[in-house]
Homo-oligomer: A and B are copies of this chain.
């Protein structure tokens, strides 16, 4: 028996997210099915991030245990031959049998939220960016974003349907880049609450459009109330870029 760690990229547009659910096809389900075909075993992958419906990934992580004789490093290639073209295994390698993708001393996740900001939508951007037609002030977004850096109770930036008790998280980096009509919010932290990145993005979009002053971000954070923040930005703008474990 060996445990194999997969790094997985996917276009989330046509999936009901990562986690298996009764009402639609998910990335986890596809992986389990293709691994069963490949190995003949009943395999249930354990994922690091249960991304929402429509959210993309360049580096989600999952593990599974197998008796297969396929070398761990070849598993990526073998799976890619069978997967649909919107899911790609970036790499595969063996890890210790007790290595778990959600429970490690240090886990850093990086997300990007992409905004296409122009008067008219660009159909080549619509799958991977949120469209905002009103002019946005990126400098004000950066001012607002600065309040979120560091360790805070992010309960105000959490979906009300969550049940997690400890809502303190650390945002290590938060950068906003602009290249013509493309605005990218890049955020790295030691974990994120349910919908946290999309609520942060929705709030910063309000700042950019001038609905909120940048200081409003500080007020929302300090209010510690789940109803204070801006709307949840749409899923197509969000990509899980990478997950780093223990500094690697």
Contacts and interface: CB of A to CB of B under 8 A. Distances in A.
Contact of A126 (B11, B56, B76, B120): B11
Contact of A56 (B11, B85, B120, B124): B124
Interface stretch (A29-37, A66-74, A86-94, A166-174): A86-94
A115 interface: no
Interface residues of A, number: 22
Interface string A79-102: 010000111101100000000000
A192 interface: no
Interface string A149-175: 000000000000000000000000000
A239 interface: yes
Interface in A35-87: 56, 58, 76, 80, 85-87
A122 B85 contact: no
Contact of A122 (B9, B80, B121): B9
A111 interface: no
A241 to B, nearest CB: 11
A121 B128 CA distance: 16
A113 interface: no
A123 B85 contact: yes
Contacts of A91: 120
Nearest to A86: B123
Interface string A96-131: 000000000000000000000000111110111000
5 contacts: A56-B123, A56-B124, A86-B123, A88-B123, A90-B120
